[in-house]
């Protein structure tokens, strides 16, 4: 229809007419009842784009630069899994998209430092140091993906039809650490293993690969890569029986240097 609004406008209208608070399912039902069929993935993506405290919103082009949440895309606030309400800075605080010391965009409440707000539950490890390392490793791989070759094929970061990039890419079975494609259009799924056991790492990666094959790849191939600090025999044995999975090791190097206490002017 010529006068059909943008999906983000449909979402805002839905939440306003549902009393200012709604589940994702209620929003979708409202939109479909009034505007007909709209892709579920598009609605999901646009809800994330417009939710001021959703950490994954920075992976969409609408939120690709630092700013305070005052734009037309800043009208929802997440109150729990799958539930949003209209954003009110007076109640929810002022939120913004900020660039951290590593140049990474992050969602944070104004007036707080990055260390005062968690990035979310890792759900995978008891080591409090693992999640920051995994986060930086993931971002390093994503930034340098075009310099990588797998089976002689250069890679690039995947971007879907909504402009969503392949970092922490959302799926029905969990977020994919890094999703890439090669020169032939085949998909490459990266799974970062820190303290996960080999069985869990392989099982999780296979679930992601299956989802990509069913939902995105179709006739294209799907390859999986586990990136680990150390690949032991347990992981080798598990990967040996998982066709399409390769293993990579990473190294971290820290350099400490003495600093003079002399004050210079």
Domain 7-116 class? mainly alpha
Domain 130-249 class? alpha beta
Comma-separated ranges of CATH 3.40.1350.10 domains in the chain: 130-249
Give me the pLDDT at residue 208, please. Answer: 95
CB neighbours (10 Å) of residue 251? 6
Comma-separated ranges of CATH 1.10.10 domains in the chain: 7-116
Phi, psi of 95 (to 5 degrees): -110, 155
Give me the pLDDT at residue 123, please. Answer: 34
Tokens of 135: 């986060």
58 in Cβ contact with 51 (< 8 Å) = no
Q: Give one DSSP letter per residue of 117-162, joined into a string.
A: S------S-S-TTHHHHHHHHHHHHHHTGGG-EETTEEEEE-B-TT
Give me the pLDDT at residue 100, please. Answer: 82
Query: pLDDT tens-digit profile of 108-145?
Result: 998 765 544 444 333 333 343 444 567 778 888 988 99
Give me the pLDDT at residue 117, please. Answer: 43
Q: Which residues of the chain have pLDDT under 70?
A: 1-2, 112-133, 194-198, 254
């Amino acid at each position: 229809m010529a006068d059909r609004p943008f999906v983000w406008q449909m979402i805002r209208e839905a939440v306003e007419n549902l009393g200012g608070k709604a589940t994702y399912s209620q929003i979708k039902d409202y939109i479909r009842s009034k505007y007909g069929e709209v892709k579920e993935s598009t609605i999901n993506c646009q809800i994330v784009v417009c939710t001021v405290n959703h950490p994954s919103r920075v992976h969409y082009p609408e939120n690709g630069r630092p700013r305070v949440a005052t734009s037309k895309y800043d009208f929802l606030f997440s109150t729990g899994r799958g539930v949003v309400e209209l954003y009110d800075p007076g109640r929810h605080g002022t939120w913004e998209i900020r660039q951290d010391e590593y140049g990474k965009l992050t969602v944070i409440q104004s007036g707080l430092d990055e260390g005062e707000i968690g990035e979310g539950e890792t759900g995978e490890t008891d080591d409090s140091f693992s999640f920051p390392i995994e986060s930086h490793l993931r971002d390093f791989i994503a930034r340098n993906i075009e310099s990588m070759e797998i089976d002689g094929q250069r890679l690039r970061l995947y971007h879907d039809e909504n402009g969503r990039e392949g970092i922490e890419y959302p799926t029905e079975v969990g977020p994919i650490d890094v999703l890439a494609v090669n020169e032939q259009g085949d998909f490459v799924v990266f799974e970062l293993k820190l303290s996960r056991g080999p069985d869990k790492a392989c099982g999780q990666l296979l679930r992601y690969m299956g989802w990509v094959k069913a939902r995105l790849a179709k006739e294209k191939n799907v390859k999986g890569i586990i990136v680990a600090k150390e690949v032991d025999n347990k992981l080798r044995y598990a990967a040996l029986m998982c066709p399409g999975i390769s293993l990579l090791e990473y190294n971290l190097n820290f350099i400490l240097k003495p600093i003079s206490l002399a004050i210079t002017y």
